[in-house]
Structure 1
Amino acid sequence: MFTGIVEERGEIVDRDDLDQAARLSIRGPLVTSDAARGDSIAVNGVCLTVVDVADGIFTVDVMAESLRRSSLGHLLPGSRVNLERAMPADGRFGGHVVQGHVDGVGTIILITPAEHWTVVRIDVPPELTRYIVEKGSITVDGTSLTVSAVGDHCLEVSLIPTTLADTILGLAQTGDSVNLEVDVIAKYVERLTQSGPTQSTEKSE
C-alpha cells in the first residue's frame, strides 16, 4: 500500500520491449537506498515489483495489462516519473489509501498558474466520475491530491509550489496523459450498496 506522497522524481534510463510486456530501468537514488528484489515501488502511481537493483537504478517488468490501462506504455528513456516506496507498517500516513492500481487515464486540458498555486483541470473517463467528489481524494500520477472542483467529466486540483517542485506534475503540459486512481473506499461503498445484504450459507437446525 502507498499514500500518494511522492518521494522523488526518477528518470527512465532504459526500456526493453518484450512480447506483451516491457522492462523498464529507472534511476531513483532515494527509493533504491533500501530496495531489494521483490519490493514494491509505485511508478507514476502504478505498483510495480523490483526485479533487479544496482547503483541507484531499479528494473521492473510491466505486463501488457498495465501498459494498456496506464500511461506507462508511453514512457521512453529520459522520461521523468514519480516514485514512492510501499509504506511501512509503522510509517506516517501523509496522504490517503493508495493501492497503486490505476483506474483510468485522464488528460490535462487546462493549466492555470496563480501567485501561490497552480490549478490543473483534467478530463476524466466517464466511468470514473461517480467516484469523484469535491474535497475528496484522487491520485494523479501517484500523487495524493484533494479535488478542488468537479465538472462534467472533469476535475480540478490545486497544486502548491512544493508539489510542483517535487513531482512531475510541475513539468506537466496541456494534452499530457495522467494516471488516475480514485478513492478505493468509494468503490467498496458502491459494491456494498449494490450487492445488498449478505445471505448466510448456514442452515438452521
Structure 2
Amino acid sequence: MQESESGLRARLIDVGVDLVTREGAQALTLREIARRAGVSHGAPRRYFATHLELLSAIARRGFEELGRRATAAVEDGTASPRAQVAALGRVYLEFALGNRGMYELMFRHDLLESGHLGLRDTSLPLFGRLVELVVQVRPDADARLVAGALWANLHGIAQLWGWGSLQLATDTDDFGPLLRSSLEAHLGPVGE
C-alpha cells in the first residue's frame, strides 16, 4: 500500500528531527533526509518547495516541544511569578543543552525571517508568556525589554555552556548559579 502524501510529509519531518537530534543541524541536507526516509532525493521537493521550508517544519517541532515543556513547568500556576520565570529559564537551558542540534536550527535567523510554516507564531507565544510574568515581577519596567534582555542572557548562557566556555570561566559544572544571577540581574534580588 502506498503512503499518503501527508504521511510521507510527516515522515520526512520525523527523519529530519531524528537526524538533527543525532547529528546536528549541519547534517540536514535534502539528500540525506530523503535517503534516510527511503525515498528518491527529489521526493522532498514534492512536499516542501524549498530546503528552508523543510528545515522550518523540523524547527517547528522543536518549538512545539519547548512550548510543551515550558507549559508543563508553569501549568499549576501556584508558584510565584518569579518562581515561574525561574522554571521557564531552567526549562529553556535544559532544552538548549539537551537538544543542541535542534536548538541551533530553531534560532537560525534565515528560518525565522523566511516566514515558512509560521515559526514566529510558534516562538512568539513563549516570549509572550515570559513578558506576562515579567510584568508581574517588575511592574516598574518595560516588561518586553526586560524579558528580551533576560532571554538574550539565557541564550548566551546556553551557547557558552554548550561550548564549555562558562564551565572554565566560572569553575562550576552547574548552570543553576548562572541562572539565579541572571534572574537577579534582570528581575532584581529575591524579596524585592
> What is the TM-score with the length of structure 2 in the denominator?
0.22
Q: Which has the higher strand share?
A: 1
Q: Which has the higher contact order (CA 8 A, sep 6+)?
A: 1
> What is the TM-score with the length of structure 1 in the denominator?
0.21
